[in-house]
Amino acid sequence: MGVRLGGGRRGGDDDDLVEAHEINVTPFIDVMLVLLIIFMVAAPLATVDLGVDLPASTVEPQPRPEQPVFVTLKPDLSVAVGEDIIAREALPGTLDAATKGQKDERIFLRADKAVSYGELMAVMNLLRDAGYLKIALVGLDGRSE
């Protein structure tokens, strides 16, 4: 609430303090501008499109089976089971032959660095659709010697 002092006149009853009926909105505007700036700075940080450089794994590797089945996704997006390059449509049949029909056998999936995450997920979906749910991702050993 504000008060207005007399306009330079002296003396008389007109010198009484007069109540001003206006709202001072300047502090409200200042607060709103500060909040706007905070949200403008914080909004881009809330998105998830930041580049990710995933670290190498430092856990102790699990023992490998005697005859592991490797599925490899090459940089040209071709798929190989073992050393043989196959068509993606032939992946279920080739895996059935390599695992002798044992769907619970672990499949080792490796992909080149240049392969996009979406392409890797597409191959993982093919493996899941074929009934192979135990998939191990193969990476470089990042433990210090």
Confidence check: pLDDT of 44 > 80: no
Looking at 3.30.230.10, 3.30.420.270, 3.30.870.10, 3.90.1150.10, the CATH number of the domain 70-139 comes to 3.30.420.270
Burial class, 108, CB count within 10 angstroms (exposed 0-12 / middle 13-18 / buried 19+):
middle
What is the pLDDT, as a whole number, of residue 63? Answer: 72
For 4-35, write each residue's pLDDT tens digit: 555 555 555 555 677 777 888 888 999 999 99
What is the residue whose two structure tokens read 């279920």?
92
β-pairing, 107-111 with 84-86?
unpaired
For 134-145, write each residue's pLDDT tens digit: 888 887 766 655
Phi/psi of residue 33, each to 5°?
-65, -40
What is the pLDDT, as a whole number, of residue 121? Answer: 92
What is the pLDDT, as a whole number, of residue 50? Answer: 45
Q: Which of 35-39, 58-62, 117-121 has the lowest mean pLDDT?
A: 58-62
What is the pLDDT, as a whole number, of residue 124? Answer: 92
For 89-122, write each residue's pLDDT tens digit: 998 999 888 888 888 888 888 888 888 889 999 9
Average confidence score pLDDT of the chain = 79
Give the chain as a DSSP string: -EEE--SS--SSGGGS-EEE-----HHHHHHHHHHHHHHHHHHHHTSS-----PPPB-SPPPPPPSS-EEEEE-TTS-EEETTEEE-GGGHHHHHHHHHTT-TTS-EEEEE-TTS-HHHHHHHHHHHHHTT---EEE---B----
Burial class, 52, CB count within 10 angstroms (exposed 0-12 / middle 13-18 / buried 19+):
exposed
